[in-house]
Structure 1
């Protein structure tokens, strides 16, 4: 399968299909990152309108991360089962509608429920975009392209920062969430323009052929496919690496999102920054993150 993926990636480079795929995946992660930051910028307004305690306000971030974690798991399964492009499209639809509904919520539990639902799409989209892009780029340039793709999240942070600075003071937090319905247009375009990776299409065709042959000849011994988790945990080295990176990712999310969720509210209430000053500070921070992600990708390939 790795040979097929590499050959398909080389072919996509020659045909420049990967540029179209990159553009859509980049926009997908941009929207993903922007959506994630909308809660951070709305936290102060939510606390005031719903009368939330600090624990309740912080738990909204926990609901978000829990939804993203589950979404990442089912997103990986959906990519293999239904296709990478279809998974990207439907996850965009899920979190776009789910986030827009947040603007109509009237209390803490309504907001928490729909935030969790929309976050399922956020987590699944992250997995699907990276998987789709990886299959269109040769190994030689893969981390450079994927590192640049990751910068889409940080660009999304900047977009959310600018939107919040423009919309929140005038229109309030509800309008900020209504804007999330716009990405549905991206999903419709992607469905029409971006093809499924050749390696996935070939794998599904082989599975369909094996199924058809099994129906024609029921007495034949069926081909047994080893499950992904059995492959991981059956190999001691793969198992150790899998557990190590799960723990690493968990601690990273604990620190990064814990700070990021509260940063705008902290700058506004504790540091006394007005929205204009806070926006300039955060845009500068996220711009540095973009540079770091691109350079990390280039360094990994070198």
Structure 2
């Protein structure tokens, strides 16, 4: 075992992290993911208004979601590397600044190309935040409770969806879509306030200190050997895990973001709900999703990450076509609530399941590479659903997303074991 790994293991075990520090880190990451989730849903609720004002085709409307995901993938890949190089907390801070200011600027755009360009730039920040927040929090929590804590952290994303839903219902009918985006500047305040209070995790500090020691001592070759990307791509086991998680995360996000982007339009356009009724149904779906995420954390700590993840993915795969083919006026709410609960489970488990698949030296790069490499796959979802909406129906797109969730459950069921590494110990 190399000296960097030994140092990274020893320091966290010796350090005693005060409970209030863990609470501060959790609140910072929770509120960051809340802002991230709200930002993602602002586009979904604005699509109808944008299509009308800018004269967008269904493909152009879907492409805005694809542009968002493509930029998130690029930003997340860089963000994972930056987490390993500069620190987890620093990356969370700067990504909050980038996407908040960028999203607020969307309210000043006047055509498709302006909106698409600004959305691309702001989404570079969005892509890094998920990786940085989960990597940061995972290194402050013991293995015993890690999934419960990280799944509860993912609920921040869904609370953000609820916040966006309520804001959209209150702002768009009376004030228009532009004011909805102007509100996105508020997370800048959170970032500036929290920055001095959030430390870097001991495991990262130990690994970073060892790299600095090697540089000062002139051991350039040793430093080069510890480069996260070099280790990640050079180690066969790490490389295999990167590939498996890229496929799994890509399929999960293909279904997840495709549904997020088009569910409001499906309820409005194909089920003929008015805007306020649609937002009410989405509140029910996302409220159930919060419970699904919290449940997934407790279940994963008790029954295992893999079993819980696979259960949620397969359940979601069943309910997506059920919403299309089995809905009625009397049962659509129940179907959406059940779907929301199941839909939250894979997202609640994936952070812990994935971070425990890579060791400390490559954790940021591994999680960032896999999750955001998966976003490249997922970037096609909104545009594909847009094409299906034009040629067949949005409902047919939901069937395709159900197939993606099916494969998303099969891959880890066969090839990704639980608890390969402990983030808190630096292993």
TM-score normalised by length of structure 1: 0.92
**Residue 6 of structure 1 contacts residue 135 of structure 1 at CA under 8 Å; is this kept in 2?**
no
What are the equivalent positions in structure 2 for 1:240-279 lying under 5 Å apart?
240-279=240-279
Which residue number corresponds to residue 339 of structure 2? Answer: none
Unaligned segments of structure 2, at least 5 residues = 303-427
Which residue number corresponds to residue 138 of structure 1? Answer: 142
Mapped pair 1:7 → 2:18: no
Q: Give the Cα–Cα distance (whole angstroms) in 2 for the partners of residues 84 and 221 of structure 1.
A: 24
Mapped pair 1:88 → 2:92: yes
Displacement of 1:4 after TM fit?
Answer: 4.3
**Residue 158 of structure 2 contacts residue 290 of structure 2 at CA under 8 Å; is this kept in 1?**
yes
Q: Give the Cα–Cα distance (whole angstroms) in 2 for the partners of residues 222 and 42 of structure 1.
A: 52
CA 1:285–1:25 in 2, change beyond 3 Å: closer, same or farther?
same
Displacement of 1:259 after TM fit?
Answer: 2.1
Mapped pair 1:203 → 2:207: yes
Which residue number corresponds to residue 49 of structure 1? Answer: 53
Secondary structure class of the residue paired with 1:96: helix
Q: Give the Cα–Cα distance (whole angstroms) in 1 for the partners of residues 191 and 220 of structure 2.
A: 42
Q: Give the Cα–Cα distance (whole angstroms) in 1 for the partners of residues 19 and 72 of structure 2.
A: 34
Mapped pair 1:64 → 2:68: yes
**Residue 84 of structure 2 contacts residue 228 of structure 2 at CA under 8 Å; is this kept in 1?**
no
**Residue 30 of structure 2 contacts residue 156 of structure 2 at CA under 8 Å; is this kept in 1?**
yes
Q: Give the Cα–Cα distance (whole angstroms) in 2 for the partners of residues 123 and 181 of structure 1.
A: 17
Q: Give the Cα–Cα distance (whole angstroms) in 1 for the partners of residues 239 and 213 of structure 2.
A: 32
Q: Give the Cα–Cα distance (whole angstroms) in 1 for the partners of residues 294 and 195 of structure 2.
A: 28
**Residue 72 of structure 1 contacts residue 120 of structure 1 at CA under 8 Å; is this kept in 2?**
yes
**Residue 103 of structure 1 contacts residue 175 of structure 1 at CA under 8 Å; is this kept in 2?**
yes
Secondary structure class of the residue paired with 1:223: helix
Which residue number corresponds to residue 217 of structure 1? Answer: none
Q: Give the Cα–Cα distance (whole angstroms) in 1 for the partners of residues 220 and 231 of structure 2.
A: 21
**Residue 12 of structure 2 contacts residue 202 of structure 2 at CA under 8 Å; is this kept in 1?**
no
**Residue 26 of structure 2 contacts residue 153 of structure 2 at CA under 8 Å; is this kept in 1?**
yes
**Residue 81 of structure 2 contacts residue 228 of structure 2 at CA under 8 Å; is this kept in 1?**
no
254-263 vs 268-277, greater mean Cα deviation: 268-277
Displacement of 1:236 after TM fit?
Answer: 3.8
Quote the RMSD (CA, aligned, Å): 1.8
51-60 vs 237-246, greater mean Cα deviation: 237-246
2:101 alignment partner, one of 72, 97, 100: 97
CA 1:149–1:39 in 2, change beyond 3 Å: closer, same or farther?
same
Displacement of 1:102 after TM fit?
Answer: 0.4
Q: Give the Cα–Cα distance (whole angstroms) in 2 for the partners of residues 19 and 253 of structure 1.
A: 29
Displacement of 1:6 after TM fit?
Answer: 5.0
Number of residue pairs the alignment of both structures matches: 295
How far does the alpha carbon of each residue in 1:32-59 deviate from its partner, in whole angstroms, 9 at most, with x for none?
A: 0000000000000000010111110100
283-292 vs 48-57, greater mean Cα deviation: 283-292
Which residue number corresponds to residue 284 of structure 2? Answer: 284
Which residue number corresponds to residue 121 of structure 1? Answer: 125
Secondary structure class of the residue paired with 2:44: helix
Unaligned segments of structure 1, at least 5 residues = 215-219
Displacement of 1:229 after TM fit?
Answer: 3.9
Q: Give the Cα–Cα distance (whole angstroms) in 1 for the partners of residues 117 and 80 of structure 2.
A: 23
Displacement of 1:300 after TM fit?
Answer: 1.6
Q: Give the Cα–Cα distance (whole angstroms) in 1 for the partners of residues 165 and 10 of structure 2.
A: 41
**Residue 6 of structure 1 contacts residue 139 of structure 1 at CA under 8 Å; is this kept in 2?**
no
